[in-house]
């Protein structure tokens, strides 16, 4: 799907497509770039194998835990992935299925060209097709370029909610206590 499909005027042509198994190494590299951007370069623990298994279950009958969309440009006659969106369906007892955007990342030199917006729109369209009642994501409080972007597209910031989590060790400890 190209940029014009989304009604977006862009300075550079790009295409979006659902990621396939061959894209997993590139997506993992982008995840590492995202972690560096988010000031957590050593935080990525997922392996290529785990990302592959979670995105493309081997048994063919299990539903994936997540999906990925990639953005590609053509540069020097070569296709190059320059961004991705990772998303999944979560559930809310008040409204039902929720589309959750886990990660949205576009390489710095390709930002402000409409790629991030197009990726977000494609995930939104997937959510509509899947019957989701809402579309949710998180952003770091210091990431003002992204916050400004989300405000411009009309998203609502839920400032009253705080995020809590256990890491794996904490979860295991809590589960066994």
* Nearby residues of 54 by Cβ (< 8 Å), 6 or more positions away: 64, 65, 66
Q: Over 50: is that where the pLDDT of 9 sits? A: no
Per-residue pLDDT band for 8 (boundaries 50, 70, 90) equals very low
* Nearby residues of 12 by Cβ (< 8 Å), 6 or more positions away: 73, 110, 113
**pLDDT tens per residue across span 128-153:** 999 999 999 999 999 999 999 999 99
> Stretch 36-41: mean pLDDT, rounded?
97
> Stretch 162-172: mean pLDDT, rounded?
94
The whole-number pLDDT of residue 5 equals 52
C-beta separation of 86 from 102 below 8 A:
yes
The whole-number pLDDT of residue 6 equals 46
β-sheet with 134-137: strand ranges across: 15-18, 67-75, 78-92, 96-106, 134-137
Looking at the annotation, which residues are catalytic?
A: 150
The whole-number pLDDT of residue 60 equals 75
The predicted model scores a pTM of 0.90
Provide the β-strand partners of residue 74: 79
């Amino acid at each position: 799907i190209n940029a014009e499909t989304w009604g977006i005027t862009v300075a550079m042509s790009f295409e979006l497509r659902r990621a396939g198994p061959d894209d997993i190494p590139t997506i993992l590299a982008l995840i590492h770039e995202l972690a560096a951007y988010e000031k957590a370069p050593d935080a990525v623990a997922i392996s290529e194998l785990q990302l592959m298994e979670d995105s493309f279950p081997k048994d063919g009958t299990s539903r994936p835990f997540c999906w990925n969309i990639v953005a590609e440009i053509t540069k020097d006659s070569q296709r190059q992935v320059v961004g991705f969106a990772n998303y999944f369906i979560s559930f809310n007892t008040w409204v039902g299925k929720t589309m959750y955007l886990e990660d949205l990342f576009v390489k710095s030199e390709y930002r402000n060209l409409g790629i991030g917006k197009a990726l977000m729109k494609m995930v939104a369209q997937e959510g509509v097709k899947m019957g989701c009642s809402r579309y949710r994501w998180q952003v770091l409080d210091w990431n003002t370029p992204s916050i400004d972007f989300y405000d411009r597209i009309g998203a609502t910031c839920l400032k009253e909610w705080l995020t809590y989590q256990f890491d794996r060790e904490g979860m295991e400890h809590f589960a066994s206590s």
